[in-house]
């Protein structure tokens, strides 16, 4: 498994103040990269950058702004494109804004990266592209069946990235994330992900609300594995990865009911959950086939679900 250090490289992270983006920024700085961040702080948080906020260049702006994208990409060697408007629920409330940021925004960054002569463009995709197909695990050669505006917008961004690799000569790699979690994931957001919500509820002795019967399953992926996948996607020879889409997960799944039990155990307390109606646009089951990613990049999961939950709970308790 060969991972470049990025020392002396100039690297742009879009959405660098977000949960995943800030984790990439911190690791890139530790590897000796010259880092630039493009973020408008609409969903990213300045506190995610605490401790290293003076070590990178900040371009405060949106991926919907063509000029901001051009400025941010200028002189960069690599782009890690993490900027998006996350959440299925948010996309149902405002599909137009979701499309502007996640689809058109991705195209804007691709255009700017191509014009700037970027060496490699690594793009955050989403497992939501698979939709509600019954077949498991999800393989990259399966047809896309998006069920929400969020999934459609993320899939459009993926396809733009592939077009830029095939027609314009920009090396692009798409990573379809499966339910990423870990430190810096905001438990207080109106669209907070399930693990920080559950962990906070357990610590406070509150019952969380589980959408539907709780038997839906997910492949939860600790942030350290996602950072590793991004680095490998940027490091591997272009003939192995350029123009490709890869799943990034742990290769295991757990029901939401069992997840609550795991988190209660990690916290050392908690009450029974309550159940609400199913959430529109959600899929029933999700599980990543990691065969292609392993074959092309040498990726292996470093942190499993149980260890990841323990690390996340410890971070929330200490924050």
Catalytic residue among 150, 160, 177, 222: 150
Do residues 241 and 176 touch, judged by C-beta distance below 8 A?
no
Q: For residues 115 and 73, is the Cβ–Cβ distance under 8 A?
A: yes
CA-angle at 18, arms to 74 and 80, nearest 5°: 35
For 82, residues 6+ apart whose C-beta sits below 8 A from its C-beta are 13, 14, 15, 16, 18, 20, 21, 24, 124
Q: Give the separation between CA 189 and CA 186, rounded to whole angstroms.
A: 6
Say how far apart CA 12 and CA 37 lie, in whole Å: 6
Kindly give the residue spans of alpha helices, DSSP state H, lying in 168-302: 194-204, 223-235, 238-241, 256-267, 291-297
| Known catalytic residue at 150 | yes
Q: Give the active site residues.
A: 150
């Amino acid at each position: 498994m060969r991972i470049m250090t990025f020392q002396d490289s100039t690297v742009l992270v879009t959405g660098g103040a977000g949960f995943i983006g800030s984790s990439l920024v911190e690791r890139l700085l530790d590897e000796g990269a010259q880092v630039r961040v493009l973020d408008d702080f609409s969903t990213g948080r300045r506190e995610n950058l605490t401790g290293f906020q003076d070590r990178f260049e900040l371009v405060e702006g949106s991926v919907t702004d063509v000029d901001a994208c051009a400025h941010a990409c200028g002189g960069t060697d690599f782009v890690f494109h993490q900027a998006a408007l996350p959440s299925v629920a948010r996309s149902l409330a405002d599909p137009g804004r979701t499309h502007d940021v996640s689809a058109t925004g991705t195209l804007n960054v691709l255009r700017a990266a191509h014009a700037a002569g970027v060496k490699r463009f690594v793009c955050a995709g989403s497992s939501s592209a698979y939709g509600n197909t019954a077949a498991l695990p999800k393989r990259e050669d399966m047809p896309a069946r998006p069920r929400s505006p969020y999934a459609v917008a993320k899939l459009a961004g993926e396809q733009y990235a592939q077009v830029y690799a095939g027609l314009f000569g920009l090396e692009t790699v798409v990573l379809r994330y499966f339910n990423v979690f870990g430190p810096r994931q905001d438990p207080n957001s109106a669209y907070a992900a399930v693990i920080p919500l559950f962990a906070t509820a357990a610590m406070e002795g509150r019952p969380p609300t589980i959408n539907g019967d709780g038997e839906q399953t997910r492949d939860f992926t600790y942030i350290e594995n996602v950072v590793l996948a991004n680095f490998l996607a940027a490091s591997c020879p272009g003939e192995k990865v350029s123009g490709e889409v890869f799943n990034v997960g742990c290769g295991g799944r757990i029901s939401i009911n069992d997840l609550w039990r795991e988190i209660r155990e990690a916290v050392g307390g908690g009450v029974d959950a309550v159940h609400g109606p199913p959430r529109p646009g959600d899929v029933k089951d999700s599980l990543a086939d990691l065969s292609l990613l392993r074959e092309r990049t040498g990726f292996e999961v470093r942190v499993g679900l149980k260890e990841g939950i323990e690390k996340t709970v410890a971070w929330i308790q200490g924050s």
